[in-house]
A = this chain, B = another copy of it.
Amino acid sequence: MNAGAVPNPTPPADDTTHDAASGTEADFLANYDPHKWPVIGVTADVVLLTVRNGNLCVLLVERANHPHQGQWALPGGFVDIAEDLDAAAQRELAEETGVAIEANWLEQLKSYGTPGRDPRMRMVTVSYLAFTNVTQEPVAADDARNARFFNLDELALPNLGIHGSTALAFDHAEIISDGVERARAKLEYTTLAAAFVDEPFTLADLRGVYESVWDIDLHEANFRRKVIGTAGFVEATGLTAKTDGRPAKLYRRGEAVRLHPPILRPTD
């Protein structure tokens, strides 16, 4: 295995080489050797969620290279030496899928670093979560031989009770599950749902986001009363949308970020 080919000794337990306790800090830093520490790879992965045709979807890439060649995985890759974590996530997403997203639309999800989660070497990934209403089709490049959105029910996500046929590379099923749980929770107390729809949108569109992400039906009249009654959630545009029945008023996103009080998920 790789650990045999490239020795990776455990370092001393504390940080006392190079006179870390005595002498000046400048001297200490001038002689500091980063290579005495274990070599741990740091990557950034992105869970990009969207709603398409009433289904919650996640953007995946088919791996062009070993390991897990040919399996579907989250877009992501190594963090550059002088690059911020958020920037790495944004860059890797763009490189592998062509999907451009503002760095501040990304929120950090969680880091995963269980030994053995990557067969190449000890690897820690900082995962990010993004929400979008992308309508563009992704374009695979780089380490990805293919890129597309998957409905969640196509995937094997045992933590969510979803048993689709597509298995995921590495521990990405766990990461996606955690991302979906985070998204479900955030709908309750933030205006996140509005990030999933194109402007302008109807209240039925917005309700569809909640129903897709939570996988339940909401009461239409109460949802309307709640959204309209929450200052800054949506703003009327004066436009109307053509539907099969009475035309619906169209809205744009408001300024509010948090919902007071929250829209709580119905309990069973």
* A interface with B by C-beta (< 8 Å): 1-2, 5-6, 8, 10-11, 13-16, 19-21, 23, 25, 28-35, 37-42, 64-69, 77-85, 95, 108, 110-111, 113-115, 119-122, 124, 126, 142-143, 260-262, 264, 267
- Our pick among B40, B119, B261 for the contact of A42 (Cβ within 8 Å) is B40
A114 to B39 CA separation, bound complex (whole angstroms): 19
| Copies of the polypeptide in the assembly | 2
Among A10, A20, A25, A65, find the residue whose CB has the most chain B CB atoms closer than 10 A.
A65
Residue A69 contacts which of B25, B38, B42 (CB distance < 8 angstroms)?
B25
B35 touches A67 (CB 8 A): no
Residues of chain B within 8 A of A68, CB atoms compared: 25
Chain B residue contacts of A41, Cβ below 8 A: 34, 37, 40
CB nearest to A264 among chain B residues: B261
> Are A6 and B33 touching (Cβ within 8 A)?
yes
Could you say which of B29, B95, B260 contacts A119, with CB atoms under 8 Å apart? B29
- Shortest Cβ gap from A55 to chain B (Å): 27
What's the Cα separation between A77 and B13 when bound, in Å? 9
**Are the C-beta atoms of A122 and B81 separated by less than 8 Å?**
yes
Q: How far, in whole Å, are A267 and B81 apart by their CA atoms in the complex?
A: 43
